[in-house]
C-alpha cells in the first residue's frame, strides 16, 4: 500500500461519505416504510420535518463525493512517483485494473447524479409546498447504494494497491489492440466535429431558453407530459455530447496538443497542457447544468410551483451557456494557436 498526504486525506473523506451512504440507505428504507404507508398528507409532512436534519447530512455526504472527484485525480497523480514505469495516470490505473478504471469512470458520471439531487433538494426547500419531496426521498435508496459501491471500490483500490512495475501509456495508446475499432483510435477530426456541433446545439438552446425565461413575455405553461419528450431529447443530446467530448480528446485533441501524432492519452493531456483541465472542467459543468435543468423539467411543471424555482432554473441555463461558451473558446483558441 502506498501512503502520502493525498491518499490519507482521500481515505478520511471517503470513509466519511461511506458512513453517510449507510445512513442514506437506512433512512430511505425507513421513509419507504412510513411515508407511503397510507398516512394522511399532514402526517407525511410531519414525518419529513423529523428527517430534515438527516437529509441535510445526506446532502453533505453527496457534496463530499463531489469534492472527492478532483481529489481522486490529485491522489492518483501523487502516486506516479511511487509506481515504477508509470508516466501518467494510465500507469497508476494499471496497478489495480479494472477496479481503478471503474472508480474513475464513476467519478465522471456520478457527479451528474449527486449534483442533480443536491439541486433538487435546494429547489424543494425554496417552496413551501415541497414539490420534489417524494422524488428526492425515492432517490435516496439508489443513491445511497451507489455511494456505497463507489466508496467501496475507492477504498479497495487504495488499501490494496501494490507499488509494482507497470507499462507506460504509450504501450496501449500508441499501438491500440486490433479489437478496438479504428473509428475510436485513429487521429481524425471526426469526433471533434461531432462534439462541436452537439455542444453548439446545447449552448445555443440554453441561450435561447435563458433569454425567453429571463426577458421574454409570459407564455402558457406546458404540462409535464408536454415537457417530458423535450427533456428526454435534451438529456440524450447531453449524454451524446459528453461521450463525443472524451472521444474528441482521445482521437485528435490529445495528439494535437501534445505534438505527438500517435499518442492518444487524455491523462497526458491533462498533465502536460495547463489549460486542458480548465476547459474540461468548464465543459463538464456546462453539460451538468443543462442536464440538471432537463432532469428537473422532466420531473415537474416547475413554472407553476414558485417564482424562486423559476429563477433558479434560469440560472442553471445561464451557467450552462456561460461555462460551455468559455470552455469552447479556450479550447478553440488553443487549437488556433497550434
Nearest one of 243, 279, 250, 291 to 267, comparing CA atoms: 250
Q: Decide: 228 and 295 in contact? Cβ < 8 Å.
A: no
Rounded Cα gap, residues 132 and 135, in angstroms:
5
Nearest one of 108, 170, 117 to 139, comparing CA atoms: 117
- In degrees, to the nearest 5, what angle opens at C-alpha 98 toward C-alphas 159 and 150? 60
pTM of the model: 0.87
Q: Where are the domains of the chain?
A: 5-168, 171-337
Q: Residue 114: enclosing H or E segment and its boundaries?
A: helix 99-126
Q: What is the pLDDT along the chain (338 residues), one digit of tens a residue?
A: 778 888 899 999 888 888 877 777 777 677 666 655 555 555 556 666 666 777 777 888 888 889 999 999 999 999 888 888 888 899 898 888 889 999 999 999 999 999 999 998 888 888 777 778 778 877 877 888 888 888 888 988 888 877 778 888 887 777 766 666 777 778 889 999 999 999 999 999 999 988 887 765 555 444 444 567 888 999 999 999 999 999 999 999 999 999 888 888 899 999 999 999 999 999 999 999 999 999 988 886 555 455 567 788 888 999 999 999 999 999 999 998 87
Q: Which three cell numbers stand for residue 260?
A: 505527438
Amino acid at each position: 500500500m502506498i501512503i502520502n498526504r493525498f491518499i490519507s486525506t482521500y481515505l478520511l473523506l471517503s470513509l466519511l461519505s461511506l458512513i453517510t451512504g449507510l445512513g442514506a440507505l437506512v433512512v430511505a428504507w425507513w421513509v419507504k416504510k412510513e411515508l407511503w404507508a397510507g398516512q394522511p398528507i399532514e402526517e407525511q409532512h410531519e414525518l419529513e420535518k423529523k428527517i430534515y436534519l438527516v437529509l441535510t447530512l445526506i446532502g453533505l455526504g453527496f457534496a463530499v463525493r463531489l469534492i472527492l472527484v478532483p481529489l481522486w485525480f490529485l491522489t492518483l497523480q501523487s502516486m506516479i512517483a511511487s509506481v515504477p514505469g508509470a508516466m501518467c495516470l494510465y500507469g497508476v490505473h494499471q496497478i489495480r485494473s479494472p477496479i481503478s478504471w471503474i472508480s474513475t469512470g464513476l467519478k465522471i458520471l456520478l457527479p451528474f447524479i449527486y449534483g442533480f439531487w443536491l439541486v433538487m433538494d435546494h429547489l424543494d426547500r425554496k417552496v413551501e409546498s415541497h414539490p420534489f419531496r417524494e422524488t428526492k426521498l425515492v432517490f435516496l435508496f439508489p443513491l445511497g447504494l451507489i455511494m456505497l459501491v463507489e466508496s467501496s471500490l475507492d477504498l479497495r483500490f487504495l488499501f490494496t494497491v501494490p507499488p509494482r512495475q507497470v507499462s507506460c501509456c504509450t504501450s496501449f495508446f500508441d499501438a491500440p489492440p486490433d479489437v478496438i475499432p479504428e473509428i475510436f483510435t485513429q487521429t481524425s477530426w471526426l469526433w471533434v466535429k461531432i462534439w462541436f456541433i452537439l455542444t453548439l446545439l446545447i449552448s445555443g438552446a440554453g441561450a435561447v431558453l435563458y433569454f425567453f425565461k429571463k426577458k421574454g413575455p409570459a407564455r402558457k405553461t406546458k404540462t409535464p407530459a408536454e415537457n417530458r419528450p423535450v427533456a428526454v431529447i435534451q438529456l440524450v443530446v447531453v449524454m451524446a455530447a459528453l461521450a463525443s467530448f472524451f472521444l474528441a480528446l482521445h482521437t485528435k485533441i490529445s495528439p494535437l496538443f501534445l505534438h505527438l501524432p500517435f499518442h492518444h492519452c487524455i491523462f497526458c493531456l491533462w498533465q502536460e497542457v495547463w489549460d486542458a483541465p480548465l476547459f474540461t472542467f468548464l465543459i463538464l459543468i456546462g453539460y451538468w447544468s443543462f442536464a440538471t435543468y432537463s432532469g428537473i423539467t422532466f420531473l415537474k411543471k416547475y413554472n407553476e410551483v414558485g417564482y424562486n424555482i423559476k429563477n433558479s432554473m434560469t440560472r442553471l441555463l445561464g451557467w450552462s451557456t456561460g461555462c460551455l461558451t468559455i470552455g469552447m473558446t479556450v479550447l478553440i483558441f488553443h487549437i488556433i494557436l497550434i
